């Protein structure tokens, strides 16, 4: 039985489950970006109440361990009558997690654009949302891109925690394979290597973008 | 049938959660202090060390920053014990946290060190200061003062991420919560209260760090 798990077979199985890590990361990032954009708009909107609500939202989520969010969603939603499996709980928690951090990054980029741009846009008769979409966002985007790409690494790494509530992705596949093969050194080395292969290019890309941004500033 | 929230079990065992919280706090603060020393040494090595040492530090930093903490923890606890280095859960958790925080701190401190104008170092050298004194008195304080916001927010992130050490049975707050849950089955109530404790501690850290900044770096002015 145990002989079935040759080195190649372990690696193949882990790679297979890395697809779930990749898929979950993509969904979390996309969902987090959409929700994060809404929160960003709240934070820069011309309404004190909305600003404060956005601030409480990001502050609260950024002060909560991702693991606790997973537990709360996983054990909490069923109490409200919503049946959740590990996949749903993982997606919901990661989207919330990503949205709060992205909203904070983007708010920073927007504030760096400068008030004068807002005032000029509003003076031209654009509404708040028009100014945001046509004048502010395009300028903020350039500055927001490097840290946004950098944060995607945190999302990929964050998906590893979903293994704890039983979602079978790369880390969970690693612990399961370790349980049958008793070769933790090899199994977790491969798991780490696969995560590295996913995250390192993103890190390099973020660094490249950052360097280009700063280069553009000084020249 | 409607579920009724019941917090009695949580309050009855609240001392257990407090012990867990104290464990999380103390472990992370120790890891933060040792990790800061590690980060400073690694950052200076990466700047001025010999080529092989620079490569080594770069590999360490990238390996840690591009893999999940939980995998580092499992590798250390399960992987190394199978290779002959047996670690207790507490020791593995402490080492993993320190190594993890050290890598992030290295990058942050390095950025701070690079921002020091060369002229200041040259001026110090012209005054006859030794290398060690230059580093300690001229280079490090402004570098740390510049790195301070990033260092402290990274520390809070690592503190929140430390919940994961419960998975190798290090008796932190999350571990006690899971233990309590297995006995009382009041999962949501327990995690709700424990989340509140984490939020309170994280906000407490942020407040404390903001207060400490002016004390630590009086030349920085009002922020």
Distance CA B169, CA B161 (A): 15
Give the model confidence (pLDDT) of B141-180 as tens digits.
999 999 999 999 999 999 999 999 999 999 999 999 999 9
A166 and B CB contact within 8 Å: no
Residue A3: the pLDDT is: 58
ipTM for this prediction: 0.92
Distance CA A11, CA A70 (A): 28
Q: How many CB atoms lie within 10 A of CB B144?
A: 18
Average pLDDT over residues A163-191: 95
Domain annotation covers residue A1: no
Query: Could you give the 3-state DSSP secondary structure of residue B50?
Result: coil
Domain count, chain A: 1
Residue B88: the pLDDT is: 94
Residue B219: the pLDDT is: 81
Please check the confidence at residue B91 and state whether its pLDDT lies above 90.
yes
Give the model confidence (pLDDT) of A125-134 as tens digits.
999 999 999 9
Domain annotation covers residue A97: yes
Q: Which residues of A touch B192 (CB under 8 A)?
A: 72, 76
Query: Could you give the 3-state DSSP secondary structure of residue B128?
Result: coil
Give the model confidence (pLDDT) of A74-125 as tens digits.
999 988 888 899 999 999 999 999 999 999 999 999 999 988 999 999 999 9
Domain annotation covers residue A143: yes
Please check the confidence at residue B69 and state whether its pLDDT lies above 50.
yes
Residue A83: the pLDDT is: 85
Q: How many CB atoms lie within 10 A of CB B157?
A: 17
**CATH code for the domain of A79:** 1.10.3720.10
A185 and B CB contact within 8 Å: yes
Decide which of B192 and B6 is more confident.
B192
Using a CB–CB cut-off of 8 Å, the residues of B that contact A are 3, 5, 62-63, 65-72, 74-75, 78-83, 156, 160-164, 167, 174, 187-188, 191-192, 194-195, 198-199, 202-203, 206
Distance CA A102, CA B105 (A): 22
Does B198 sit within 8 Å of A63, measured CB to CB? yes
Average pLDDT over residues A179-202: 96
pLDDT band of A179, cuts 50, 70, 90:
very high
Which residue from A minimizes the CA distance to B161?
Answer: A65
Using alpha carbons, list the distances in angstroms from residue B217 to B124, B145, B211: 20, 6, 11
Let me know if A209 is exposed, middle or buried by CB neighbors in 10 A (0-12, 13-18, 19+): middle
Domain annotation covers residue A178: yes
Q: Six-digit token pair at A181?
A: 């093969």
Give the model confidence (pLDDT) of B179-223 as tens digits.
999 998 889 999 999 999 999 999 999 999 999 998 898 887 654
Domain that holds residue A17: 6-218
Distance CA A11, CA A181 (A): 13
A160 and B CB contact within 8 Å: yes
The fraction of chain A above a pLDDT of 70, given in percent, is: 97
Mention every residue, 6+ apart, whose C-beta is less than 8 A from residue B177.
Answer: B17, B20, B166, B190, B191, B194
Using alpha carbons, list the distances in angstroms from residue A56 to A42, A177, B192: 11, 41, 17
Domain annotation covers residue A13: yes
Does B68 sit within 8 Å of A182, measured CB to CB? no
Distance CA A171, CA A168 (A): 8
> In the predicted model, what is the mean pLDDT of chain B?
93
pLDDT band of B8, cuts 50, 70, 90:
confident
Average pLDDT over residues A23-43: 97
A vs B, Cβ pairs < 8 A, gives: 123
pLDDT band of B5, cuts 50, 70, 90:
confident
| Mutation target among A57, A67, A166 for the B interface, most CBs of B within 10 A | A67
Distance CA B130, CA B55 (A): 27
Domain annotation covers residue A62: yes
CA distance B56 to chain A (A): 16
Q: How many CB atoms lie within 10 A of CB A70?
A: 26
Please check the confidence at residue B114 and state whether its pLDDT lies above 60.
yes
Q: Which residues of A touch B156 (CB under 8 A)?
A: 63
Domains with residue ranges and CATH for chain B: 8-220 (1.10.3720.10)
Give the model confidence (pLDDT) of B19-49 as tens digits.
999 999 999 999 999 999 999 999 999 998 9
Residue A219: the pLDDT is: 40
Distance CA B205, CA B216 (A): 15
């Amino acid at each position: 039985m145990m002989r079935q798990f040759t080195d190649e077979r372990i690696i193949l199985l882990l790679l297979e489950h890395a697809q779930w890590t990749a898929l979950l990361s993509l969904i979390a990032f996309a969902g987090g970006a959409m929700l994060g954009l809404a929160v960003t708009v709240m934070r820069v909107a011309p309404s004190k109440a909305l600003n404060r609500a956005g601030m409480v939202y990001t502050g609260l989520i950024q002060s909560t361990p991702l693991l606790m969010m997973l537990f709360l969603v996983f054990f909490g939603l069923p109490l409200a009558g919503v049946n959740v499996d590990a996949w749903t709980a993982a997606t919901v928690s990661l989207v919330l997690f990503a949205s709060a951090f992205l909203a904070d990054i983007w708010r920073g980029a927007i504030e760096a654009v400068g008030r004068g741009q807002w005032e000029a846009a509003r003076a031209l008769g654009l509404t708040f949302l028009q100014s945001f979409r046509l004048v502010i966002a395009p300028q903020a985007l350039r500055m927001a891109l490097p840290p946004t790409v950098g944060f995607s690494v945190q999302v990929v790494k964050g998906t590893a925690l979903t293994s704890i509530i039983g979602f079978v992705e790369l880390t969970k596949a690693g612990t399961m394979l370790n349980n049958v093969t008793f070769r933790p050194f090899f199994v977790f080395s491969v798991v780490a290597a696969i995560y590295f292969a996913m995250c390192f290019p993103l890190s390099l890309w973020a660094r490249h973008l950052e360097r280009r941004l700063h280069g553009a500033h000084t020249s | 049938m409607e579920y009724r929230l019941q917090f009695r079990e949580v309050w009855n065992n609240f001392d257990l959660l407090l012990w867990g919280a104290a464990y999380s706090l103390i472990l992370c603060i120790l890891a933060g202090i040792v990790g800061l020393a590690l980060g400073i040494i690694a950052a200076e090595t990466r700047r001025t060390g010999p080529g092989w040492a620079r490569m080594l530090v770069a590999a360490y930093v990238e390996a840690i920053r591009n893999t999940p903490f939980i995998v580092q923890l499992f590798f250390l606890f399960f992987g190394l014990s199978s290779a002959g280095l047996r670690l207790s859960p507490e020791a593995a958790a402490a080492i993993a946290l320190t190594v993890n925080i050290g890598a992030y701190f290295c990058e942050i401190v390095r950025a701070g060190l690079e921002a020091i104008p060369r002229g200041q170092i040259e001026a110090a050298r012209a005054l006859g200061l030794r290398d060690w004194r230059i580093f300690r008195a001229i280079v490090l304080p402004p570098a740390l003062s510049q790195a301070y916001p990033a260092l402290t927010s990274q520390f809070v992130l690592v503190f929140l991420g430390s919940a994961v050490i419960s998975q190798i049975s290090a008796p932190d707050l999350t571990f006690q919560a899971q233990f309590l849950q297995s006995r009382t089955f009041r999962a949501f109530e327990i995690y709700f209260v424990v989340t509140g404790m984490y939020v309170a501690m994280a906000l407490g850290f942020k407040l404390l760090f903001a207060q400490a900044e002016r004390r630590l770096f009086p030349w920085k002015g009002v922020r």
